[in-house]
Each structure stands twice: as structure tokens, then as C-alpha cells.
Amino acid sequence: MRHVDVDSVPAELFGLSDELGQVGGDWHAHTRHQLLFARSGVLRLEVHDHAWVLPPRHAAWVRAGVVHRISVKRMASLHTLYVDRRRATGPDTPVRIFPVTGLGREMIMHAMRWGPDRDPDDPVAEAFFGAMVALLDEWTSAAAPYGLPLGCSDTTRAAIRWTFGRLDRPGLSVDGAARAAGTSARTLRRRMLDETGGSWRDVVQQARLLRAVEALSDPAASVQQACDAAGYQSLGSFSRSFSEALGESPRAWQRRATGP
């Protein structure tokens, strides 16, 4: 990303576009809210105890002051709207991922004409951004299930990261995760429940879904490749699990997220 001190920009609302290659971002926070829109490609967004996948044609609302980092494995096109906290409230969660409607996509992309150097008193820009702010509550109400709890303790976080990195490998088990984290399976199960609200199997299931979403965000990827990347045993079980979680088949989701 090109460096802009976004917190010192005079305009209360402005846009910024970036074409990202492989990026492992630093931890940071802003005094402004952010609306991150993945026009193409897929991003990972992380706070201290949670991680999200941001697929194409989806957006993330990041509240002002939330410490986070962004990473990209392949090329991605990112449009960001910065919003002064006095102009909008947004969801009360630190981060929310949501699908963007056709109108929302066009408005976000059009907003990029007004960058950090824009005239803060431009009446056209102010009217346009005012309309976007008025629509934010409606847009962000449709939360998408693309998050993965990471836990609070080093033990739980190590086990989850080990699990996420081995979804497509044989021998994935809670015992292996516990050994990687330096604890017993019994202790890990207890900590997992206390810190994430779910079992290790729940975390594995959600991690498989996110890995599949990442794979399907590439328009050239096949459903079988996404199935294999996520570690499902059969294409049928993958399709059923994906459809139950997201309400549409893997192919339909891919067409919607990456199509023209």
C-alpha cells in the first residue's frame, strides 16, 4: 500500500485504492472507521483473538481504534473508505464482514474519485458520502460467516494455527494439535471451549469453510480443487457442508463472487 497518514487527512470521509501483491501487514489501528472492499482477490484480516477471510465482492467494517492487520497471499484489489467516527457509528463489533450489493459496489468504486487530497468542503463529495453513510447500517446488517476464533492463550492460538495450516493433510487430529501446542488433548479441549465457545471439531469445520472460500475466490479454481484444499473427503460432503453454511452451492458462490 502507498503510505498515507490517513488520520491526519482534513476531509472527514475519503477513499483510497490499492493493488496488493503478497503482503503480510503490520499491526496497526486508525482513529477513523474503515470500510474495506475487496474488488478482486482475497484478504485475511486479523485482530488479537479472531481472524476473517475477506473474499471478492465483500466488505469489512473495522471500527476506529481496533488494532488489526491485513495479509494477502496473491494479488488483490482493495478499495477503502475512511470515515470520521463523528460521521458514522457502524456495527458495535470490532469487525464485520458482509456481502456488498450491486449498488454498494458501484458507490464504493465511485467514491475512490475523492482521495485523501480532496477538498474537505466539496459539496458533491459531501452529498455523496452522506448518502453512503446513510446506507451503512443497512449494508452491514447482513453479516457473513467468514470468521475464525483464535483464542486468547498462546496454547489455544498455537493449536488453531497448526490446525489451519494442515487442513489438506492426513492425520489431522486434536491429539496432533495438542502436541503442537505443548499440552494434552484434554486440556486443549477445555481451553478451546472456554476461549472460542466451541469444540476443536467446530473450529476445524469453520477453518475448512474459510479455506474453501479462499480457494473459490480464484475464478480459475475448480470446485474439486477447493474441496481438496479444505481437506474434505468427498465432493458431495464438501458441497453439502458449504451449502448449509452459506446458503448456496460452491459453484454458485464462486460465480457470484468472481463473475463479471
**CATH for 6-140, among 2.60.120.280, 1.10.533.10, 3.40.50.300, 2.30.30.100?**
2.60.120.280
pLDDT for 22 equals 74
CA distance 189 to 254: 34
| pLDDT at site 75 | 84
- Residue 73: predicted pLDDT: 83
Each residue's pLDDT tens digit, 124-149: 999 999 999 999 999 999 889 999 99
pLDDT of residue 259: 82
Alpha helices in the chain (DSSP H): 102-111, 123-140, 154-164, 174-181, 185-196, 200-216, 223-230, 235-246, 250-258
Closest to 29 measured CA to CA, from 94, 101, 111: 94
Q: How many CB atoms lie within 10 A of CB 39?
A: 18
Question: For cell 468542503, what's the residue?
Answer: 121
Distance CA 50, CA 160 (A): 11
Position 64 confidence tier, pLDDT thresholds 50, 70, 90: very high
Q: In what order do the strands lie in the sheet with 13-20?
A: 13-20, 76-83, 33-40, 58-62, 95-99
Q: Is the pLDDT of residue 21 over 90?
A: no
**What digits encode the pLDDT tens for the residues 73-124?**
888 999 999 999 999 988 989 999 999 999 999 999 999 999 999 999 999 9
Residue 99 carries which DSSP code? Answer: E
Average pLDDT, the chain: 94
User: What DSSP element (H or E) covers 76?
Assistant: strand 76-83
Taking 60 as the threshold, does the pLDDT of residue 57 lie above it? yes
Structure confidence at residue 47 (pLDDT): 95
Pick the CATH number of 151-258 from 3.30.70.20, 3.40.50.12280, 1.10.10.60, 3.40.50.970: 1.10.10.60
**Residue 13 pLDDT more than 90?**
yes
**Global confidence as pTM:** 0.91
Furthest-apart CA atoms within the chain: distance in Å: 62
CB 125 within 8 Å of CB 114: yes
Ranges of each domain in the chain: 6-140, 151-258
Cβ–Cβ under 8 Å, residues 163 and 172: yes
- Which residue(s) pair with 46 in the sheet? 51, 69
Q: What's the pLDDT at 210?
A: 96
Residue 11 has pLDDT above 80, yes or no: yes
